[in-house]
Amino acid sequence: MSESIIEKHLKKLTIFVAVLSLAILTAGGIVTFSLNRVQQDAIDSRIQREVEKYSDNLHQKLQVDFQTIYTLSAFLEFNEGLEKESFSRGLLGANNHNGFVRMGYFGRNGTGVRVTRGKSIEMDKKLEEVTPEMQEIIRKAWEGEDGFSGVIYDTELEKQVLGYAVPVYRGEEIIGALVATGEADSLKEILTNDVLFGGNGHIQLINSQGEYVLPYETEDIFSGDYFSQKEEERITDVLDSQESCFASLEYKGHRYRLYIEPVGIKDWSLFGIEAVNESNKFLTQMILITRVTFSVILAAVIVFIFYGYRLMKKKNRELIQYAYYDSLTGAFNSEKFQQELAKVMKKQETYALAGLNIRQFKFINEIFGRNQADSLLCHVKDVLEENTGEGEYFCRNSADMFLVLLKGEERKEIQRRIQDIMEKIAAFSANLNHDYDIQMYCGISLIPQGIKTDTATMQTTHTMFALEKARSLPRNSIWFYDLNLHQEEILQNYVESHMNQALENGEFKMYLQPKFDLRTGRLSGAEALVRWIRGDGKVIYPGQFIPIFESNGFCAVLDMYMTEQVCRLIRKWIDQGIRPIPVSVNHSKILFYETDYVGRMEKLIEKYETPARWITLEILEGLAMENIDKLNQVIASLKEIGFRISMDDFGSGYSSLNTLGKLDIDELKLDKGFMEGIDGTDQQKQKIILEHIIMISRSLEISTVAEGIETKENEQMIQELGCDFGQGYYYCRPIPAEEFHEKYMQKGKK
């Protein structure tokens, strides 16, 4: 995963955090809004009910008052001939028994009589002597309509009063108006109620200007800074148009809900208001708890996510450091370097990819210790850092191998820079306090600008091929990837991509090279060797594919395949009545570490019913150097089945005579290098060494086979040294199994 992808993940996480926080905030808002809505609906419903109830009470009071007056007016109609004085006394008596403070009668001529509770009768009262409001409703009654003055101030009574007037008929003719005056406080009794809205609100009577009809704490509802200008204008319009509406206001930290409804009397409206916070404490507490809960949850989530985000970002930085940087040196690792290399290869610039390796680094580790070896690697990193510029990269690819990407394509300049880097790295020798010469080797592949065909991996492979070539050269060698290396790379790619298919197609052919008894000169056995012959007839030689198979592990598969071919051949000889000869087959060390190796070998000989004594398994001496005890356990199991064990190429590597005494082998094959050495200047020394190896082997009851016998002189000399068997081109080159069968097994030729 690249750094950009990790950054994208972090951005996605940030967006997720924001969305989650917004979702929690929205959910809290929705719940709070819903509870507020429920609370507001409950308050609105309650205010509306109370206002409507008080409106009904107001209408009922006025209706009762008018009904009382109409009853008296009917009395006047019925008593047509009643004298004025008797009428006045009757009116006074009626007034004393109803709720009015004053009553009167005014004929259409503008003269009338008026009685006041607790006062004398006023006869011949002129219309002009009463208040203008009373004059207006009297004239209205003369016109046949009920008259109501609303709340007016009576200077004589010195109080707020209500004026009523109804027409008085005689037949179909209106002869006058019966008037009554009631106390305005009777309206207060209707509107004033301490338990209204649970004591958390009140209802007032207002006119179209918002003024209180009855005396109140202020002149009108707009006194004081209760409403915004916009809300005040809206309420004013509602009052003017005699409509109903709800509104909200805040005052001294408290929220209020109000309702205005026209009464239908004069320009009056009922104004109901209730404190929201006090009207429904349960819902208010629920809303508060909900807000606090969601706020706490949101805060906790934000804190948790923020902490998690920071922790993840820190861990991602650590992950990036771990994923893309070498823990020892701090340089890029291979993964990060390959990403940068892939980007660079798309640019219109030329580069050179160099691989640097320290010769015999493992000995530096062993001789000077791991700390000094690690310091050397850090020194290499520092040198590369100092000698690379902008747009140039390097990494510790593995162990002591570094990859460096340099700008340019001029070979001489690239070589000069690499040599300079090598010299600066070699200067670390002074830190070792020993006269140790640090040597390196380098492989380089050039990258043309804007290359499209090669991948970063392929370009690195080119560099590795050049590095491998440089390793075979002396001292601080530098090798550029060229056509020859390219051909080797093509072959390696072909080998690795076709090996499994070649096995299925039977392209791996078994060749046999005979071995002869040096005492009798007779055929004593053969070695099975593999040749890769493609379907088109082209041959891939063992030296071209065996090292690759040893590297990728396919040699174990091929070894078992060759063993099966040997079993088939021996089975064929037995079936044809031919006495078999021992056939040896190479087995790589990978097989010896497989847990089912011995079992598979046993099943193989059981499958072909082949006696195991005719098969010799050849192992390399390098295997014995690793774990002798483990190897002996496997050898013992194989020998118990009947297989013979041979050590191949003894003397080609770091041979140890001590190994011969510890390994339970049956045969020792002397490397052909001994034959080449005997023909050289140190002939006598080589003969002495070879003679003693043969003598020790004989003492250990281990037979010896000399490889690489190419001349009569070789054969004669090895016979004199007491070697048991010989193998080489002097006798016969490796030939196909069919040809071997015809030449040696059918005809019995030597």
Joined together, the tokens standing for residue 229 give 């200008």
Residue 464 clears pLDDT 70, i.e. is over it: yes
Strand ordering across the sheet containing 393-398: 393-398, 401-407, 351-358, 440-447, 477-480
Cβ atoms of 167 and 177 within 8 Å: the answer is: yes
111-131 residue pLDDT tens: 988 888 878 788 888 999 999
Q: What global pTM score does this model have?
A: 0.48
Confidence (pLDDT) at 93 = 65
Confidence (pLDDT) at 748 = 47
Distance between CA atoms of residues 15 and 24, nearest Å: 14
* Cβ within 8 Å of residue 423, ≥6 positions away: none
Cβ atoms of 740 and 514 within 8 Å: the answer is: yes
The 3-state secondary structure of 372-406, one letter per residue: HHHHHHHHHHHHHHHCCCCCCEEEEEECCEEEEEE
Q: Is the dihedral of CA 210, 211, 214, 215 positive or negative?
A: positive
Confidence (pLDDT) at 750 = 39
Joined together, the tokens standing for residue 639 give 């020998």
> Beta-carbon neighbour count of residue 332 at 10 Å?
23
Percentage of the chain exceeding pLDDT 90: 37
- Domains of the chain: which residue ranges? 79-186, 187-280, 334-481, 506-746
Nearest C-alpha neighbor of 703 from the set 750, 748, 626, 646: 646
Confidence (pLDDT) at 301 = 72
Residue 593 clears pLDDT 90, i.e. is over it: no
Fold of 506-746: TIM Barrel (3.20.20)
To the nearest 10°, report the CA torsion of 597, 600, 602, 604: -140
Confidence (pLDDT) at 342 = 86
686-727 residue pLDDT tens: 888 889 899 999 999 999 999 999 999 999 999 999 999 999
472-525 residue pLDDT tens: 887 788 988 876 767 777 788 889 899 999 999 999 999 999 999 999 999 999
Confidence (pLDDT) at 195 = 46
To the nearest 10°, report the CA torsion of 582, 585, 590, 596: -50
**Domain pair 79-186 / 187-280, same fold:** yes
19-49 residue pLDDT tens: 777 777 777 677 767 767 776 777 788 888 8
* Cβ within 8 Å of residue 655, ≥6 positions away: 621
Distance between CA atoms of residues 77 and 681, nearest Å: 169
Second-level CATH architecture of 187-280: 2-Layer Sandwich (3.30)
- The DSSP line for 313-330 is HHHHHHHHHHHHB-TTT-
Using the 8-state DSSP alphabet, how is residue 266 labeled? T
Q: Of 63-77, 387-401, 434-448, 620-634, where does mean pLDDT reach its minimum?
A: 620-634
Length of the chain: 750
Residue-averaged pLDDT of the chain: 84
Q: Is 528 helix (H, G, I), strand (E, B) or coil?
A: strand
The 3-state secondary structure of 447-468, one letter per residue: ECCCCCCCCHHHHHHHHHHHHH
Which band of pLDDT confidence, cut at 50, 70 and 90, is reported for residue 192?
Answer: low
For the chain, the distance separating the N- and C-terminal CA atoms, rounded to the nearest angstrom, is 66
Class assignment of domain 79-186? alpha beta
Confidence (pLDDT) at 81 = 45
CATH number of 334-481, picked from 3.30.70.270, 3.30.420.10, 3.50.50.60, 3.20.20.10: 3.30.70.270
Confidence (pLDDT) at 48 = 87
- Geometric angle at alpha carbon 569, from 564 and 570, rounded to 5°: 100
Give me the amino acid identity at 444: I
